Amino acid sequence: MFENLQDRLSGSLRKISGQARLTDDNIKDTLREVRMALLEADVALPVVKDFIEGVRQRAVGQEVQRSLTPGQVFVKVVQQELERVMGEGNESLNLATQPPAVIMMAGLQG
């Protein structure tokens, strides 16, 4: 999922280069690419909407320092929002059940 997101973002991030401040207008295409990449990776629509809105709120108005590019600032905002949505810490799995421990994994598409 993250490789696909990186490939799709690279073209969109070029469009915001040279900007001194991230605005809603100049990150619109990049947010669309992030949304499409997440939906193609079978992330649930309510999660994608919450994530995109969180990125928009964090990114709009961000000042771009001279040592960074707008793309780097945007990627940092996306990383921070991913950490918020997914959780910053690791949760241990309790496999203290009687063997064998059964783990069921299910995705949106089956």
Q: What is the pLDDT of residue 11?
A: 67
The pTM is what?
A: 0.70
Q: What is the CATH number of the domain that holds 70?
A: 1.20.120.140
In a domain, 95, yes or no: no
Task: State how far the Cα of 34 lies from the Cα of 108, in Å rounded to an integer.
Answer: 18
Q: What is the pLDDT of residue 54?
A: 93
Contact between 58 and 77 under an 8 Å Cβ cutoff? The reply is yes
In a domain, 28, yes or no: yes
- Per residue in 37-94, pLDDT (tens digit) is 888 888 889 999 999 999 999 888 877 777 787 778 888 888 889 888 888 778 787 7
In a domain, 52, yes or no: yes
Distance of CA 37 to the CA centre of its chain: 9
DSSP assignment of 68-109 equals S-HHHHHHHHHHHHHHHHH-SS-------SSSSP------TT
Q: Measuring CA to CA, how many Å separate 37 from each of 20, 26, 42, 47, 49?
A: 26, 19, 9, 13, 13
Q: What is the pLDDT of residue 23?
A: 79
Instruction: Specify the higher pLDDT residue, 102 or 51.
Output: 51
